[in-house]
C-alpha cells in the first residue's frame, strides 16, 4: 500500500501539465475520404504500400479503398459468418504482413461465434486469424487461426464487451495482439455468476475454473485476457530462445509449452488495451504505446518498452496512479457504476489484497485522464471518455512542431471516442511525456472516433468514426485545391403515385478549406438543374435519378458528389405500439410490438430487425436483438420484440435503453423507429439527472457558417441530441454543422439539446450572414427567382419502368444506390465519395421526441 502512495505522489507531480490551445487551429481540415454509411460500422484500417486502404467492419466484412480513393464494390473478405458481432463485440483490428502484398497475408482479430445463438452475453473467445490474398481478394477458406484454434485458449470473453483489441507487427517481424479481460464492466467482477447474465456459468466450463475469475484474469498468466501477447505470425507460438534464438525472448516463455498463455504473454494487468502503436525507432521488437480504456475513473496511455516486458500494468487493482478502490474490501465506495451486486460476497473476497506482493512494481501510465475534471480531488485537466486511438506523426506536411526531431522527441496524437477530440503531446527519446510542453488541443468535434492511423503514403492522419466515415486530416494553410462537398436530400425515395415527387436538397456541410467563395451547381438527373445551395425539386416522371452537386471555388477548383433518388417507391412505415417513452423495473420482461407497412412490397416479404442501444454517459453500446424475419402473413405486419430488457439492465446504473425497429422493403429501403426505456430507479426516477445547458459558437467561413454546439454542457456527461433551427426555414441535427444561407441577412438560430432523460435546453442567438461577393447564385438574387428548377423533367425517364429499381438491395446498408462518385480536379485531393444520403428515416412520431436520425453508435471500448 505504501508503494501506491509513493507512486501516487510521483504521478501527481507528473500530471501537472498545461492544456494549450492549438496555434495551428483552423489550419487543419478534415477531408472525407469515403463514407460507408451508418450501420456499416467500420472499426479499423490498414494501409498497403500499393496505396490501398483496407477497412475492417465490426460485422467481419473487410473492404478496400483503392489508390484513387474509390471504395471498391463488394468485400475483400466476408467473415460475418464467424465474427461475433453482438453488442460491443466484433472485428476490432486488422494488420497487413510487413511484406504485404509480396507476402499476401492479412491478420484479423475478433471474438468468434460459439453457436448459432446471437445472444450478446454468450461466453466466447477472441481469435487471431490469418487470411491470404489471391487476385486482389481473399476468402474465409484461407483462414488459419493462430490464436484460439482450440476452445478455451483464445482471448476470454465471459460477458459482452472489451474482448479483442489491436494487432501490430514488431520491428523484428513478430506479431503483437492485445485484448481486454472480457469480464463484466457493469460491476466488480470476481468471477461470481451474475443472475442477470444467463450465460455467466459457461465461463468456467469453457476457460477452466482457474480462469473464471472476472477482471482478475488480467493478473494471471493462465489465460490471455487483459494481456498484450507476442507471437510468431506463422504458428501463434510465443517467442523464446529455443524457437527464435536471435530474437528477444518473451518474459514467461516456457520451451515445454511454447503456445501456452504464459509463453505468449508480453505484458499483463490490462483492462481494455484497445489500440497499440509501435514506436519504430526503438530497440527490437519495438516500444509499444497503448491506448487503454479505463472503467470509470481514468483513461490510460501506457508504454511497454522491450525492457518492460513482463511488466504488470495493475488492472483491476490499480488504475492510473492509484488503487482501484472497489476491488479492495472495506474501502469500496459504492458509486453509480460500482455498487457491488453481491454485497455479501464482497465482504469475503479481497483478491487485490492477496495479490499485493505482485503489485509492487506495477507500471503507471505516462498520461491519464478522466471523465470529469476532478477525480478523488485531483485535477486531471483534460476530460474524455474512452481512449480510442494513438498515432505518431512521420510526415512532412504538418508544421515542424508536429514532426520527428533529432533529439528523439515525437508528437503523439491521442483520440477520445466519447468526447470526440484529438489532442497531441510530445514524448522524449526515452518515451516520457514532456510535461513542460503540456497537452495541446488539436481537433475538437471529430465525431465518434474509433481509431486513428497515419498513412505511410502521404503521412497524414486518417481516422474512422462509427457513423461510417473515413476521414483524412490535412494541413491546409495556404491550401490551393477543391472545396469539400456534402450533398443530401430530406428523403431519398418516395412514390409519386401517392404524392408530389418533391425533394428538398441540401449542401449543408459543404465548405472551402481556404474560405474562398464557392458556387453550387446541381443536376437532378432529369435534365433540370439549380445553382441554389439548397434547392427543392419536383420530378414529373417515375424512376431512379442521379443527383449531382458540383461545388466550385473562386480559384476554379471543384468537387462533386452524387447520390440516387427514386420516385417510384415509398419507404415502409414502421411504428412501435404504445408510448414513445416507458419505464420498467430491472429484470422485467417487456413486450414491444411494431407494425410495418409498405406501398409496394407485400407484408409477407417485408423484413425487419430489432436493435437496442444501451445509453449512458456520452455514448452507446449497440446490440441486435433478432435476425431479420420474413413471412409475416398479409396485411399490416407486426413483430414482437420482447424479453430484451431482462438481462441487460441493472437498476444500479444510470442507463437508458433505446429500442429500434427497422423495416426493409424488397428494394432494401428502410425505415427505423424507436422507443426509449428508462429503468425505474430507487427513490428517484431520474436518478439525479441534471438538465443540459445548450450553447453554441458560430463563425462564418466563406459561404457557410460553422456552428459548433459542442460547447453545450451536461453535468452528468450524458449523450446529447442536437436539433437546430437555422432561421431560414430549414432545420438540422448533429453537434457541428456547416450551414449555407441563400441570402445575406440576420438569422435567429436556435439549438435545442436533449439528454437521454428528456431534459432539454434551448439556446437562441442571432447570426449575421454576409453572402460572399462572387457567389451570384447563392446571393440575394436567388430569393427573387422563384424555384425555377421544377418541371424541367422530360425525356428519358418517361420511358423508364415504374418498377422499383433501387440498386441497393442490401438490407444492412442504408446508403442509396451503392457507390457515389466524387470528381475532383485537385491532383492532390483524393477524396472520392461522401454518400450522406440515406434511406433510413425516422417515423414522425419518434422524430417528435428526438429530432433527426440518431447515428448508429457503439462503444467497443467501455
Ligand atoms: C467449442 O465450443 C463450442 C461450444 O461452446 C462447441 O460448439 C464447439 O464444438 C467447440 N469446438 C471444439 C473444436 O471443441
Ligand atoms: C518514418 O518514415 C520513413 C519513411 O518515410 C521510414 O523509413 C522511417 O522508418 C519512419 N520512422 C519512424 C520512426 O516511424
Ligand atoms: C504472483 O505471481 C506469481 C507469478 O509471478 C504467481 O505464481 C502467484 O500466484 C501470484 N500471486 C498471486 C497472489 O496471485
Ligand atoms: C421534403 O421536402 C419537400 C420540399 O420542401 C417537402 O415538400 C416534403 O414534404 C419533404 N418530405 C419529407 C418527408 O419531409
Ligand atoms: C457558450 O460558449 C462560449 C464558448 O465556449 C462561452 O464563452 C460562453 O460563456 C458560453 N455561454 C454559456 C451561457 O455557457
Ligand atoms: C423546424 O423545427 C421547428 C421546431 O421544431 C418546427 O416547428 C418546424 O416545422 C421545422 N421546420 C422544418 C422545415 O422541418
Ligand atoms: C435530356 O436531354 C437530352 C438531350 O436534349 C435528351 O436526349 C434526354 O431525353 C433528356 N432527358 C430527360 C430525362 O429529359
Ligand atoms: Ca416501399
What are 383-395's pLDDT values in tens digits? 788 899 999 999 9
Check whether 148 has a pLDDT greater than 50. Answer: yes
CA-wise closest residue to 384 among 519, 318, 485, 291: 291
With a Cβ cut-off of 6 Å, ligand 1 is lined by 114-115, 151
Which of 65-74, 147-156, 340-349, 813-822 is predicted least confidently? 813-822
473-524 per-position pLDDT tens digit: 999 988 889 999 999 999 999 999 988 999 999 999 899 988 899 999 999 9
Residues making up the chain, counted from first to last: 862
CA 609 to CA 628: how far, in whole Å? 5
Q: Which residues line ligand 4 (CB under 6 A)?
A: 490-491, 502-504, 536
Query: What is the spatial distance between Cα 513 and Cα 535, in angstroms, rounded to a whole number?
Result: 23
Say if ligand 3 is within 6 A of residue 355 CB. Answer: yes
Q: Answer yes or no: is pLDDT of 72 > 60.
A: yes
Beta strand pairing call for 287-292 and 273-279: antiparallel
pLDDT digits (tens, 9 = 90+) for 440-461: 999 988 988 999 999 999 999 9
In this structure, are residues 126 and 110 in contact, taking their beta carbons and an 8 Å threshold? yes
Q: Tell me the average pLDDT of the chain.
A: 79
What is residue 372's predicted lDDT score, i.e. its pLDDT? 65
Helix (H, G, I), strand (E, B) or coil at 693: strand
CB 168 within 8 A of CB 392: no
Pick from 723, 719, 709: which is nearest to 757 by CA? 719
pLDDT value of position 465: 94
- pLDDT at position 832: 25
pLDDT higher than threshold 50 for residue 825: no
Under the banding of pLDDT at 50, 70 and 90, the label for residue 681 is: low
User: What pLDDT does residue 613 have?
Assistant: 79
CB 297 within 8 A of CB 370: yes
For residue 339, what pLDDT is reported?
Answer: 33
Question: How far apart are the CA of 839 and the centre of ligand 4, in A?
Answer: 14
The pLDDT confidence band at residue 774, using thresholds 50, 70 and 90, is low
Residue 371: phi and psi, rounded to 5, are -80, -15
Peptide bond preceding 316 in cis form (omega within 30 of 0): yes
Could you tell me if the CB of 394 is within 6 A of ligand 2?
Answer: yes
Highest mean pLDDT among 331-335, 618-622, 771-775: 618-622
Q: Is 47 helix (H, G, I), strand (E, B) or coil?
A: strand
The three-class DSSP label of residue 523 is strand
Question: Do 43-311 and 573-687 share a fold?
Answer: no
Q: Which residues contact 348 (CB under 8 A, 6 or more apart)?
A: none
Whether 739 has a pLDDT exceeding 50, the answer reads: yes
**Mutation to probe ligand 7, out of 540, 794, 799 (largest number of atoms < 8 A from CB):** 794
Q: Which residue has the higher pLDDT, 480 or 345?
A: 480
- Write 70-73 long-range contacts (CB < 8 A, 24+): 70/34, 70/819, 70/821, 70/832, 70/833, 71/34, 71/36, 71/819, 71/832, 71/833, 73/818, 73/819
Place of cell 487551429: 25
Ligand in nearest proximity to the CA of 710: 5
What is the reported pTM? Answer: 0.79
Distance 262 CA to ligand 3 centre (A): 12
Q: Report the distance separating Cα 741 and Cα 703, nearest Å.
A: 8
Q: Given a cut of 70, is residue 586 above it in pLDDT? A: no
What is the four-CA torsion angle of 824, 828, 832, 835, rounded to 10 degrees? Answer: -80
Q: Is the pLDDT of residue 74 over 80?
A: yes
**The ligand 3 atom nearest the CA atom of 355:** 13
409 lines ligand 2 (CB under 6 A): no
| pLDDT value of position 352 | 74
Cell representation of residue 818: 451503392
Pairing mode, strands 439-443 and 19-20? parallel
Q: Look at residue 785 and tell me whether its pLDDT is greater than 80.
A: no
Within 10 A of 766 (CB to CB), how many other CB atoms are there? 10
Tell me, using a 6 A CB cutoff, whether residue 358 lines ligand 3: yes
DSSP assignment of 245-302: TTSPPPTT--TT-TTSHHHHEEEE--S-EEEEEEESSSSTT-EEEEEE--SSS-EEEE
Q: Please report the beta strands in 598-717, taking only residues with DSSP state E, as ranges in sequence order.
A: 607-616, 619-624, 637-641, 656-664, 670-679, 697-701, 704-708
Ligand 6 nearest-atom number relative to CA 731 = 1
Residue 649: what pLDDT? 53
Ligand 4 atom with the smallest distance to the CA of 489 is 1
CA 402 / ligand 2 centre spacing (Å): 14
Give Cα 280 to chain centroid, integer Å.
27
Per-residue cell: 204: 468456467
The three-state secondary structure class of 179 is strand
Shortest-distance Cα residue to atom 14 of ligand 1: 151
Classify residue 631 as left (phi > 0), alpha (psi -120 to 50) or beta.
Answer: left
* Nearest Cα residue to atom 1 of ligand 7: 527
How far apart CA 411 and CA 403 sit, in angstroms, is 7
Q: How far apart are CA 654 and CA 616, in angstroms?
A: 7
Q: What is the pLDDT of residues 604-653, one digit of tens each?
A: 888 888 777 777 766 777 766 544 444 343 345 666 655 445 455 554 45
Please answer whether residues 72 and 65 qualify as being in contact, where contact means their C-beta atoms are separated by less than 8 angstroms. Answer: yes
* Residue 521, H or E segment: strand 518-523
Q: Which residues contact 823 (CB under 8 A, 6 or more apart)?
A: 550, 558, 559, 560
| The three cell numbers locating residue 270 | 490490462
In this prediction, residue 491 carries a pLDDT of 93
- 590, pLDDT greater than 90: no
Tell me the pairing of strands 760-769 and 745-754.
antiparallel
690 exposure class (CB count in 10 Å sphere: 0-12, 13-18, 19+): middle
Angle (nearest 5°) at CA 338 between 615 and 58: 40
Distance of CA 574 to the CA centre of its chain: 26
Residue of 168, 171, 280 to mutate, ligand 2, most atoms within 8 A of C-beta: 280
Place of cell 431482462: 646
566: burial class by Cβ within 10 Å (0-12, 13-18, 19+)? buried
Per-residue pLDDT tens digits for 21-45: 777 777 898 999 999 987 789 999 9
Distance 711 CA to ligand 5 centre (A): 7
Mean pLDDT of 847-862: 24
Render 226-251 in DSSP notation, one character per residue. TEEEEE-TTT-PBP-TTT-TTSPPPT
Rg for the chain (alpha carbons), in Å?
27
CA 351 – CA 384 distance, rounded (Å) = 29
Find the mean pLDDT for residues 190-194.
78
Overall average pLDDT of the 840-860 stretch: 22
Asked if 656 contacts 757 with a C-beta cutoff of 8 angstroms, the reply is: yes
Name the residue at shortest CA distance from atom 10 of ligand 7. Answer: 795
Domain 43-311 classification at class level: mainly beta
Residue 778 has pLDDT above 50, yes or no: no
What architecture is domain 573-687? Sandwich (2.60)
Domain spans, the chain: 1-35+386-477, 43-311, 573-687
> Please, which pLDDT band fits residue 844 given cuts at 50, 70 and 90?
very low
Amino acid at each position: 500500500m505504501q508503494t501506491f502512495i509513493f507512486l501516487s505522489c510521483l504521478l501527481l507531480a507528473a500530471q501537472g501539465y498545461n492544456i494549450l490551445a492549438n496555434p495551428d487551429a483552423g489550419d487543419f481540415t478534415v477531408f472525407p475520404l469515403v463514407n460507408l454509411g451508418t450501420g456499416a460500422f467500420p472499426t479499423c484500417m490498414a494501409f498497403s504500400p500499393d496505396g490501398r486502404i483496407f477497412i475492417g467492419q465490426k460485422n467481419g466484412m473487410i473492404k478496400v479503398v483503392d489508390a484513387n480513393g474509390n471504395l471498391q464494390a463488394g468485400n475483400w473478405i466476408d467473415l460475418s459468418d464467424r465474427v461475433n458481432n453482438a453488442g460491443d463485440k466484433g472485428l476490432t483490428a486488422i494488420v497487413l504482413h510487413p511484406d504485404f502484398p509480396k507476402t499476401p497475408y492479412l491478420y484479423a482479430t475478433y471474438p468468434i461465434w460459439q453457436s448459432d445463438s446471437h445472444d450478446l452475453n454468450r461466453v466466447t473467445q477472441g481469435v487471431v486469424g490469418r487470411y491470404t490474398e489471391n487476385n486482389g481478394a481473399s476468402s474465409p477458406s484461407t483462414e488459419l487461426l493462430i490464436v484460439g484454434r482450440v476452445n478455451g485458449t483464445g482471448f476470454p470473453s465471459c460477458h459482452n464487451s472489451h474482448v479483442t483489441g489491436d494487432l501490430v507487427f514488431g520491428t523484428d517481424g513478430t506479431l503483437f495482439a492485445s485484448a481486454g479481460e472480457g469480464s463484466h464492466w457493469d460491476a466488480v467482477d470476481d468471477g461470481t455468476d451474475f443472475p442477470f447474465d444467463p450465460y455467466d456459468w459457461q465461463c468456467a466450463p469453457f476457460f477452466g475454473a482457474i480462469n473464471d475469475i472476472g477482471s482478475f484474469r488480467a493478473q494471471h498468466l493462465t489465460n490471455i485476457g487483459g494481456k498484450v501477447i507476442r507471437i510468431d505470425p506463422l504458428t501463434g507460438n510465443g517467442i523464446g530462445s529455443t524457437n527464435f534464438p536471435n530474437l528477444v525472448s518473451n518474459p514467461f516463455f516456457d520451451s515445454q509449452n511454447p503456445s501456452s498463455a504464459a509463453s505468449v504473454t508480453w505484458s499483463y494487468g490490462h483492462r481494455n488495451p484497445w489500440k497499440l502503436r509501435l514506436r519504430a525507432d526503438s530497440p527490437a521488437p519495438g516500444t509499444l504505446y497503448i491506448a487503454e480504456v479505463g472503467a470509470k475513473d481514468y483513461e490510460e496511455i501506457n508504454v511497454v518498452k522491450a525492457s518492460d516486458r513482463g511488466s504488470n500494468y495493475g488492472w483491476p487493482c490499480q488504475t492510473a496512479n492509484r488503487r482501484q478502490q472497489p476491488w479492495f474490501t472495506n474501502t469500496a465506495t459504492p458509486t453509480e457504476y460500482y455498487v457491488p451486486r453481491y454485497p455479501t460476497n464482497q465482504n469475503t473476497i479481497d483478491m487485490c489484497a492477496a495479490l499485493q506482493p505482485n503489485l509492487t512494481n506495477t507500471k503507471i501510465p505516462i498520461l491519464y485522464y478522466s471523465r470529469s475534471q476532478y477525480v478523488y480531488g485531483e485535477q486531471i485537466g483534460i476530460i474524455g471518455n474512452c481512449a480510442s486511438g494513438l498515432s505518431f506523426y512521420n510526415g512532412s506536411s504538418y508544421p515542424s512542431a508536429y514532426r520527428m526531431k533529432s533529439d528523439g522527441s515525437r508528437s503523439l496524437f491521442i483520440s477520445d471516442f466519447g468526447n470526440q477530440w484529438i489532442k497531441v503531446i510530445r514524448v522524449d527519446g526515452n518515451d516520457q511525456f514532456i510535461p513542460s510542453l503540456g497537452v495541446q488541443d488539436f481537433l475538437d468535434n471529430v465525431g465518434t472516433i474509433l481509431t486513428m492511423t497515419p498513412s505511410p503514403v502521404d503521412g497524414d492522419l486518417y481516422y474512422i468514426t462509427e457513423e461510417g466515415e473515413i476521414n483524412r486530416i490535412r494541413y491546409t494553410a495556404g491550401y490551393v485545391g477543391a472545396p469539400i462537398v456534402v450533398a443530401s436530400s430530406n428523403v431519398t425515395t418516395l412514390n409519386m403515385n401517392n404524392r408530389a415527387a418533391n425533394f428538398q436538397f441540401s449542401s449543408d456541410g459543404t465548405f472551402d478549406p481556404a474560405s474562398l467563395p464557392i458556387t453550387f451547381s446541381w443536376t437532378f438527373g432529369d435534365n433540370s438543374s439549380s445553382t441554389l445551395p439548397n434547392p427543392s425539386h419536383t420530378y414529373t416522371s417515375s424512376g431512379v435519378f442521379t443527383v449531382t452537386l458540383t461545388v466550385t471555388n473562386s480559384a476554379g477548383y471543384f468537387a462533386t458528389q452524387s447520390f440516387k433518388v427514386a420516385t417510384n417507391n415509398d419507404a415502409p412505415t414502421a411504428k412501435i405500439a404504445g408510448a414513445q417513452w416507458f419505464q420498467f423495473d430491472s429484470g422485467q420482461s417487456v413486450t414491444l410490438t411494431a407494425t410495418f407497412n409498405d406501398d409496394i412490397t407485400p407484408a409477407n416479404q417485408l423484413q425487419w430487425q430489432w436493435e437496442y442501444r444501451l445509453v449512458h454517459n456520452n455514448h452507446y453500446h449497440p446490440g441486435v436483438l433478432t435476425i431479420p424475419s420474413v413471412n409475416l402473413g398479409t396485411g399490416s405486419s407486426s413483430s414482437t420484440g420482447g424479453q430484451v430488457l431482462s438481462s441487460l439492465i441493472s437498476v444500479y446504473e444510470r442507463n437508458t435503453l433505446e429500442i429500434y425497429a427497422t423495416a426493409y422493403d424488397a428494394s432494401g429501403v428502410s425505415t427505423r423507429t424507436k422507443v426509449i426505456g428508462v429503468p425505474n430507479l430507487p427513490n428517484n426516477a431520474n436518478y439525479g439527472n441534471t438538465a443540459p445547458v445548450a450553447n453554441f459558437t458560430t463563425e462564418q467561413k466563406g459561404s457557410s457558417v460553422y456552428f459548433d454546439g459542442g460547447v453545450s454542457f451536461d453535468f452528468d456527461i450524458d449523450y446529447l441530441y442536437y436539433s437546430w433551427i437555422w432561421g431560414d426555414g430549414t432545420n438540422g441535427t448533429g453537434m457541428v454543422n456547416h450551414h449555407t444561407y441563400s441570402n445575406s441577412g440576420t438569422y435567429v438560430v436556435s439549438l435545442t439539446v436533449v439528454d437521454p432523460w428528456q431534459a432539454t435546453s434551448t439556446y437562441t442567438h442571432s447570426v449575421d450572414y454576409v453572402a460572399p461577393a462572387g457567389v451570384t447564385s447563392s446571393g440575394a438574387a436567388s430569393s427573387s427567382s422563384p424555384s425555377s428548377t421544377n418541371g424541367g423533367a422530360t425525356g428519358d425517364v418517361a420511358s423508364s419502368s415504374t418498377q422499383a429499381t433501387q440498386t441497393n438491395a442490401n438490407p444492412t446498408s442504408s446508403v442509396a444506390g451503392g457507390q457515389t462518385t466524387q470528381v475532383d480536379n485537385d491532383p492532390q485531393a483524393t477524396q472520392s465519395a461522401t454518400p450522406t444520403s440515406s434511406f433510413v428515416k425516422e417515423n414522425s412520431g419518434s422524430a417528435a421526441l428526438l429530432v433527426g436520425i440518431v447515428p448508429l453508435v457503439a462503444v467497443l471500448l467501455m
